Amino acid sequence: MRMIGHRWRRRAAGLAVAALVSGGLALTSIGTSAADDGELLRESTASEECANADAIAGTGDNFEENCLTESELAEIEESVGAASILPAGATAGSPNLTLASNLPKAGPFANTSALNSDLAFQGKHVFAGNYNGFSVYNIENPRKPVLVSQVLCPGSQNDITVYGDLLFLSTDSRRTDDSCQSQSLTAQQAADRGSYWEGMKIFDISDLQNPRYIKSVETKCGSHTHTLVPGDDSVYIYVSSYDTSTLLSDCQPPHDLISIIDVPLDDPTSAHVAAEPVLFPDPANQGSGTRGCHDITAYPHLGLAAGACMGDGIVMDIADPLNPVILDQVRDPNFAFWHSATFNNAGTSIIFTDELGGGSGPTCNPTVGPVRGANAIYTWDGDSLEFASYYKIPREQANTENCVAHNGSLIPVPGKDIFVQAWYQGGISVFDFTDPYNPTEFAWFDRGTFDAEGTIAGAWSTYYYNGYIYSNEIQRGFDVFDLRDKRVAPAKGQRYDEFNVQTQPVY
């Protein structure tokens, strides 16, 4: 179903055929081209539920709703229990991937409600988000990381990026004010008060032992995630948000916009919202449940960005950073929650992830299967997106383990497309998608369930940086992995001074 503007893009017939490919599940069309006319054979009830206007608010990795019907959850409960599932306390993995170090959560981040979130990198330091603030780690010796400092500043989910001496932190919960001592409010409490704050916080990190909070910028519906787009004299922040409420005048559905913050590099305290482009202006599109975006990845080298929006995967021209233009958009009836997007290095393929279950659901099991809660790989020819295949880890997880596709990054091997990815309590997976129709896993690591109560845990973000893989485990702390495999050996020669995964560098 071809879709330019709001016309449907046709999908290949016969896509509901699963193939086990060298330890990774890849779903591809059999005997037809992905460009052929046809229909997907299966409509996802989760897609319908998550597209519902009342259900979408609070989904995603806010862990408030999980986009699964009660009957689906009951079916999962009955089906999970295979002997192959790792018990609590156990670990397993491929011999080429080893856990080199783990630093448990500490201080105000030690409790189970303080969830570790995203990562950013600069020089010999890693900046790790947490729902209670952020930590700074020295990784000069990756096998012995050292905690440099922690900043207590609650504000779900504290998505994090760095740029020079600046650190940016997303706040996606309604707060009493913009301070680091603020309290969380429900939408009803915020409406009753008549005032609240959520948006972007900016810190000066010139002294890493004492980061300084210097500026806040309020944005409509807060900031669930954000993406840096470098300019000549400014850095622009694309703010993705979607948690709407009819109770709040500045956060009404459909909220089909992103906020773009202009941060002048010579005066970051004058940062302000410079544009609020509506990405989905067609009223007919509102029935799709787009309602803003969850995450956007910019690829400045190509002047493009890929977005995972509520009901759509999109590609945008960002040559003019304040005026992004959608070039193409697609929908997938097997997707419940478009979560993130990553280009390959050549910009000819894009991995979109589906966070079925909102990050809290046990979706890595035979009941859910290899298609839902997976990656969808699309090819991009500069004009249109075409479906190539699905990829999902093949290891069955317990019904106490939240497991679904989550944050990952390219491993910079010239001439190859290799991705390392977090799967929450499904662990981490490394796969080659150089052939986008046949993604193949060749390394993995997994832990047994965190506890019997189903506490949210697992790898939130897992990224490759300057020779090692770093992972922020929601409960267990900061992990460092050593991947030794001839397929990724050339990546050792690629070094970055700064790395924000949602601002893709070219290699």
Q: What residues make up the domain containing 402? A: 18-499
Query: Three-state DSSP class for 85?
Result: coil
Cα 506 vs. chain centroid, distance in angstroms? 20
Asked if 402 contacts 357 with a C-beta cutoff of 8 angstroms, the reply is yes
The CATH number of the domain holding residue 472 is: 2.130.10.10
Asked if 26 contacts 439 with a C-beta cutoff of 8 angstroms, the reply is yes
Q: Is residue 507 situated within a structural domain? A: no
Which string of DSSP letters, residue by residue, matches 442-495?
EEEEEE--S-TT----SEEEEEEETTEEEEEETTTEEEEEEE--TTTGGGGG--
Q: Is residue 7 situated within a structural domain? A: no
Q: Is residue 446 situated within a structural domain? A: yes
Sheet strand arrangement including 418-422: 91-93, 440-447, 428-432, 418-422, 408-411
* Tens digit of pLDDT at every position of the chain (507 positions): 323 222 223 232 222 323 333 345 444 332 222 222 223 222 333 343 444 333 334 457 866 445 666 676 666 655 544 557 999 999 999 999 999 999 999 999 999 999 999 999 999 999 999 999 999 999 999 999 999 999 999 999 999 999 999 999 999 999 999 999 999 999 999 999 999 999 999 999 999 999 999 999 999 999 999 999 999 999 999 999 998 999 999 999 889 999 999 999 999 999 999 999 999 988 666 566 667 899 999 999 999 999 999 889 999 999 999 999 999 999 998 999 999 999 999 999 999 999 999 999 999 999 999 999 999 999 999 999 999 999 999 999 999 999 999 999 999 999 999 999 999 999 999 999 999 999 999 999 999 999 999 999 999 999 999 999 999 999 999 999 999 999 999 999 999 999 999 999 999
Q: Is residue 504 situated within a structural domain? A: no
Residue with the two structure tokens 């991995």: 351
Q: Is residue 9 situated within a structural domain? A: no
Q: Is residue 153 situated within a structural domain? A: yes
pLDDT in tens, 407-437: 999 999 999 999 999 999 999 999 999 999 9
pLDDT in tens, 162-212: 999 999 999 999 999 999 999 999 999 999 999 999 999 999 999 999 999
pTM, entire model:
0.89
Asked if 479 contacts 128 with a C-beta cutoff of 8 angstroms, the reply is no
Asked if 297 contacts 315 with a C-beta cutoff of 8 angstroms, the reply is no
- Spell out the long-range contacts of 44-50 with Cβ–Cβ below 8 A and sequence spacing 24 or more: 44/333, 44/334, 44/335, 44/336, 44/372, 45/69, 45/72, 46/72, 46/336, 46/356, 46/372, 47/332, 47/333, 47/334, 47/335, 47/336, 49/336, 50/289, 50/310, 50/336, 50/337
pLDDT in tens, 432-489: 999 999 999 999 999 999 999 999 999 999 999 999 999 999 999 999 999 999 999 9
What is residue 2's predicted lDDT score, i.e. its pLDDT? 29
Q: Is residue 12 situated within a structural domain? A: no
Cα 64 vs. chain centroid, distance in angstroms? 17
- Token reading at 106: 């500490």
Which secondary structure element, helix H or strand E, spans residue 193, and what is its range? helix 187-193
Could you give the number of structural domains in the chain? 1
Could you give the C-alpha distances from 401 to 72, 76, 363, 450, in angstroms and in order? Answer: 16, 12, 9, 7
Q: Is residue 5 situated within a structural domain? A: no
